[in-house]
Amino acid sequence: MLIDTYGRVATDLRVSLTDRCNLRCTYCMPEEGLQWLAKPDLLTDDEIVRLIGIAVTDLGVTEVRFTGGEPLLRPGLVGIVERCAALAPRPKMSLTTNGIGLKRTATALKAAGLDRVNVSLDTLRPDVFKTLTRRDRHHDVIDGMAAARDAGLTPVKVNAVLMPGLNDDEAPDLLAWAVENEYEMRFIEQMPLDAQHGWKRDGMITAGDILESLRTRFTLTAEGEDERGSAPAERWIVDGGPHRVGVIASVTRPFCRACDRTRLTADGQVRTCLFAREESDLRGALRSGAPDEEIARLWKLAMWGKKAGSGLDDPSFLQPDRPMSAIGG
């Protein structure tokens, strides 16, 4: 079991499969991209499956989320999913993606055992999408989401970050569109995980701002803490149901006390929190021939040292050196 000194138990594993991405979102990385991890530094498919196997069979993990970078850029993705679906007990498996490659992969991923997807889409306007991502791929994301829904990778959850002066007026339109297409909309506060370290607390679009905007068109009824459990999103019932909308307020309404996540980077480092400045190396142990029991012990030790909170509310907070694309969302 992955337990920390505050009694929290990690049962949700986020696995970054690559730090590479085919978009250049302004809140994540510079236009020229980043210096990507060298291939020898990345975990191999076998190493990823072995670590997930240890987490599921020895450490009590019940849910696995594949992330990036953009995980659809990982050549062995379908095989990794298929092998993890064969684990006993079988974990629930999901994928966070920008959606560009979903149209061609959704059916294969479903057949391999993937349960559902989260797709990032910040705007319904192709011109704004191009400004935000520096790529003209809006139609590919829309098509990919439809393919995921039709393949049965449901519920398809749509993640949007609202940015001042760009898409901050789109929350009601995005929710209406999601309801119409049977997607579940989730709005995420912009977090201090950009490679440029340009994030500023002042002026960011907060959960309060988002809810105020949504209530200009919809009646929202809080779902309640009992329903939320350890989920990062607070959810509201839209116009009496059955549709829901979620808001992930990592900055203004942190949910650290209920956190049940552990994170594995594409180069085999354990992270106890998105905002942690420390990591614990499992890749080195893997490649030096350590048995599963030793890997599990190192993972437990890393999680035992998890801090009480993210530190975002501390005036001395410093962003992690590694950006979101390297950490995995």
Residues placed in the known binding site for GTP? 14, 65, 96, 157, 261-263
Instruction: For residue 82, give the amino acid letter.
Output: E
Instruction: For residue 258, give the amino acid letter.
Output: A
Return the bridge partners of 116, or none: 94
**Among candidate residues 14, 327, 315, the one with its CA nearest the CA of residue 193:** 327
Those residues whose C-beta lies under 8 Å from the C-beta of residue 224, and which sit 6 or more positions away, are none
Specify binding-site residues for S-adenosyl-L-methionine. Answer: 27, 69, 120, 191
Specify binding-site residues. Answer: 14, 21, 25, 27-28, 65, 69, 96, 120, 157, 191, 256, 259, 261-263, 273
Torsional sign, CA 244, 248, 254, 255: positive
Three-state secondary-structure class, residue 287: helix
Return the bridge partners of 186, or none: 159, 246
Write out the DSSP string of 251-305.
TTS--GGG--EEEE-TTSEEESSTT-S--EESHHHHHTT--HHHHHHHHHHHHHT
Specify binding-site residues for [4Fe-4S] cluster. Answer: 21, 25, 28, 256, 259, 273
Three-state secondary-structure class, residue 286: helix
The most distant pair of C-alpha atoms in the chain lies apart, rounded to whole Å, by 59
Torsional sign, CA 122, 178, 114, 64: positive
